[in-house]
Amino acid sequence: MGLSSSFLPPLLTSNLRAIHWAVVNDDWDWLIVIYGRERVGKTVLSALGLFTLEPDLWNGILSGIYEPALARFAWDFDDMVDIVKELPKGSAIAYQEARMLGREAMKHWNIRMVTVMSTIGSRNIIFFLTFPRFSMLDPYLRMRARTKIHVRTHHGARGYARCYYRAVDAEDRNDDGMRYAFDTTFRSPEILGEFWHKLQERETEVKLDILRRHGYRRKIAPLDGVTTDDEPVQQSVS
């Protein structure tokens, strides 16, 4: 399957490509926060967005070359920073913090993210940041985000999203500075084929490694068919 508008609906596709054009040609970086409760499809949407912006990664997958695409996904803060350092300008990355962060850890994570976002603007990178709740982010990060996408279910079916954009007068407003843009849908992970299974395997490996590094010493053997935060969608939404 070649890259086409079937990845995402035309309106969302055209908006993402306009963002990419602005990043490359107008010297921007762009933080897109994809948020929603667990297992509603945040990782799926970030992957579809990534391949819409960087079709060469998808073309590599079609040729059986998976690692360049897998290397654009990070579940750990330090890994994310390492990836960003090596990316050429105009690239995109999908980052999902894998750890369950308590209040104190959340403060530390926010401080580190603020430092990164306030110092790498010249990198011209598009961030797909997936997170449970937009309100949990530091106020600076909420203001730094130019787009937010709320992923949700509808009558139990995954694949629904509500998109918002940063208002021109955001700094003068008392809310989060975002205005409603449009509702959209996206496809189930089956559209990603074998890559989706490899991405789940990589995510499981990273999460198990995080557990071990934080003192969980019990031998852990992933079960066949294990699902993570974004399990495969059973019903395709078109």
Domain chopping of the chain, boundaries: 10-188
pLDDT attached to residue 4? 45
The structure tokens listed for 206 are: 């990273």
Tell me the C-alpha distance between 8 and 187, whole Å.
7
First to last CA, the chain: 17
pLDDT reading at 194 higher than 90? yes
Mean pLDDT of the chain: 82
Phi then psi for residue 90, to 5 deg, are 85, 5
Q: Which residues are CB-neighbours of 107 under 8 A, at least 6 positions away?
A: none
pTM: 0.83
As a whole number, mean pLDDT of residues 10-31 equals 93
- Quick one: pLDDT band at residue 99, thresholds 50, 70, 90? low
pLDDT attached to residue 211? 75
Residue that wins the pLDDT comparison between 151 and 168? 151
pLDDT reading at 20 higher than 50? yes
Q: What strand order describes the sheet that includes 157-166?
A: 73-74, 92-96, 126-131, 30-35, 145-154, 157-166, 178-185
pLDDT reading at 213 higher than 80? no
Query: Percent of the chain beyond pLDDT 70?
Result: 80
From 105, 111, 146, select the one nearest 129 (Cα to Cα): 146
As a whole number, mean pLDDT of residues 73-99 equals 88
Q: Tell me if 118 sits within 8 A of 91, measured CB to CB.
A: no
Of 63-72, 148-157, 175-184, 204-213, where does mean pLDDT reach its minimum?
Answer: 204-213
As a whole number, mean pLDDT of residues 129-152 equals 91
pLDDT reading at 90 higher than 60? yes
Tell me the C-alpha distance between 69 and 47, whole Å.
9
As a whole number, mean pLDDT of residues 31-43 equals 92
Q: For 122-135, what is each residue's pLDDT tens digit?
A: 789 999 999 888 98
Q: Say how many residues make up the chain.
A: 238
Residue the block writes with tokens 């993210």: 113
Residue that wins the pLDDT comparison between 220 and 234? 220
Among 3.40.50.1820, 3.30.70.260, 3.40.640.10, 3.40.50.300, what is the CATH number of 10-188? 3.40.50.300
pLDDT reading at 118 higher than 50? yes
pLDDT reading at 1 higher than 70? no
pLDDT attached to residue 51? 95
pLDDT reading at 21 higher than 70? yes
pLDDT reading at 3 higher than 50? no
